[in-house]
């Protein structure tokens, strides 16, 4: 697909400087782009490439003052990074719109309901009483169990598994290898040291506009629902246990593990490899630093770090002090020598 600078500017609400008819048909990084490609500049560290790049069109911040002439056509916008993200989203949507129909072999149960403009890839399986709404894209080797609902415009990438009775909202993206609705980790200890499995008869509810990274696992509830609220963004390799609730617009980085029945509020940021115990509450807007171990509930807006996690500001002060420990040790030893000398002098003078 080929677009002019003017067409792109209309898509992202920008204004063109230079040739408005300059055409591009692909994207490139500003330091590597060639003729016919679109680039963007958001980080000032890359500004030098603005004057040497081969890109035909470049998106820049409207407040950027040029140091010298630029060969490319420029599109000025309030926020170049955000505008580029919007443009990539529109481009991806155009590509997805071209994906329709059903590849063979694939299996769609006769009781399933499939909407308009749906794509079903080869070797996909769609079970009994499934409802697939308009514009859904199901890539090859996706498994959708019985009585699952998939909302309009959602994309399930290759190898996604959605177990029975789970629900995925509209406008979601689920990346390859993710499992939604596997059994939660529930076992009752027995007197003889063995474990009796606790059947997991709930489900998983993923609301609208959620993105779930590759190889993430979201366990079904024991009773009720594990819930991922609207707008949440979950990275690759995240484990979310049974009956967890993840609040709207919360962001969870890779390799985080969240234990059962924990409730996470809205707009929480969780860094990579964080571990969160079960049956606690994380307040709205909380910040959990990477590799933190959270063992108790957090108030709204609280920031923590470390394992066990504690107040972020206090942790920074502790780290600053720990770096000074060798110097402090030397000072203490010097003071001890001075005190010993004063004690000796005092005894010599009869005090």
Which positions are annotated as active-site residues? 242
**Left, alpha or beta for 154 (phi > 0: left; psi -120 to 50: alpha)?**
beta
Q: How far is CA 12 from CA 42, 86, 260, in A?
A: 15, 7, 42
Residues 6+ apart with CB under 8 A from 24: 2, 3, 5, 8, 36, 37, 38, 55, 56, 57
Token duo for residue 127: 């079970």
**Left, alpha or beta for 339 (phi > 0: left; psi -120 to 50: alpha)?**
alpha
DSSP tag of 6: H
First to last CA, the chain: 95
Going through 292-343 in order, the beta strands assigned E by DSSP cover 293-294, 303-305, 310-311
Read out DSSP for 30-99?
Answer: TTT--TTEEEEE-SGGGGGGGGT---SEEEEETTPPPSS--SSEEEEES-HHHHHHHHHHHHHHHHHHT-
What span, in angstroms and rounded, lies between the C-alpha atoms of 211 and 209?
7
Helix (H) or strand (E) holding 325: helix 325-348
Residues 6+ apart with CB under 8 A from 114: 108, 120, 126, 132
């Amino acid at each position: 697909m080929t677009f002019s600078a003017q067409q792109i500017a209309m898509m992202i609400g920008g204004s063109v400087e230079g040739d408005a008819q300059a055409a591009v048909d692909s994207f490139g990084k500003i330091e590597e782009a060639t003729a016919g490609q679109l680039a963007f500049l958001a980080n000032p560290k890359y500004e030098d490439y603005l004057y040497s790049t081969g890109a035909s069109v470049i998106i820049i911040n409207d407040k950027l003052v040029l140091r010298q002439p630029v060969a490319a056509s420029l599109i000025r916008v309030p926020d170049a990074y955000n505008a580029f993200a919007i443009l990539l989203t529109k481009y991806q949507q155009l590509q997805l719109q071209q994906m329709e129909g059903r590849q063979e072999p694939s299996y769609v149960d006769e009781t399933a309901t499939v909407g308009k403009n749906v794509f079903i890839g080869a070797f996909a399986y769609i079970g009994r009483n499934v409802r697939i709404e308009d514009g859904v894209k199901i890539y090859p080797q996706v498994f959708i169990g019985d009585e699952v609902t998939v909302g309009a415009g959602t994309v399930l990438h290759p190898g996604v598994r959605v177990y029975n009775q789970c629900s995925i909202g509209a406008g979601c993206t689920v990346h390859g290898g993710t499992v939604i609705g596997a059994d939660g980790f529930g076992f009752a200890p027995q007197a003889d040291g063995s474990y009796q499995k606790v059947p997991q008869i709930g489900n998983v509810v993923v609301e609208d506009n959620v993105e779930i990274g590759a190889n993430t696992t979201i366990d079904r509830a024991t009773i009720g629902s594990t819930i991922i609220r609207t707008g949440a963004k979950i990275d690759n390799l995240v484990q979310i246990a049974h009956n967890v609730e993840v609040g709207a617009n919360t962001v969870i980085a890779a390799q985080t593990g969240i234990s059962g029945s924990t409730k996470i509020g809205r707009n929480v940021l969780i860094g990579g490899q964080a571990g969160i115990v079960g049956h606690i509450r994380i307040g709205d807007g909380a910040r959990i630093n990477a590799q933190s171990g959270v063992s108790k509930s957090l108030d709204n807006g609280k920031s923590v770090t470390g394992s066990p996690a504690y107040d972020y500001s206090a942790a920074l002060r502790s780290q600053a002090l720990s770096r000074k420990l060798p110097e402090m040790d030397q000072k203490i030893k010097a003071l001890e020598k001075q005190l010993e000398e004063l004690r000796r002098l005092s005894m010599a003078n009869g005090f």
